[in-house]
Chain A
């Protein structure tokens, strides 16, 4: 079952912050975040594993709350290069399972 991402779209000016949420109705053991620019392939940003840890990548960080079965991606002081569509992918516990992705959140940053 696809995780649910919110919001569907975000419009920002450079320097503003944004939060993208990802929630699942199933137990989560890992959450992956990817960014895709128009016409390109998705690119890996970070993975969060069970344990509530927070990770960072440049000015982008994320948290994972397995009790609430949700993850949030934080984009701080956004730059033009942050524009794109962000996907969360969720994984189950079994080793043989694959990531199921949400429908994506489109982020547009303007100057």
Chain B
């Protein structure tokens, strides 16, 4: 069975600081991996996805993520956070079906 964990429930960073959100998955083969963002009261927006090839993928809004097979991880990064990045971030895995992680809430201090 596939599963996704996001170890950090809530992260607070200062505006301009770097960010890394952790995601670990469990799946027997190489899954397809996604990061979505959800602003308060809004729907889910796709940030980036990994299917195959280069393990460092670039997404929208200056985000990137790196797939590390040896660690079963797909961590999301951004070099400099903006106040508008405050939201809930979900990692998702598509293997047999679509499974979301529990989410990490990002707060940004001015």
Partners in one complex: no
Chain B contacts to A: CB under 8 angstroms: none
> A residues near B, CB below 8 A?
none
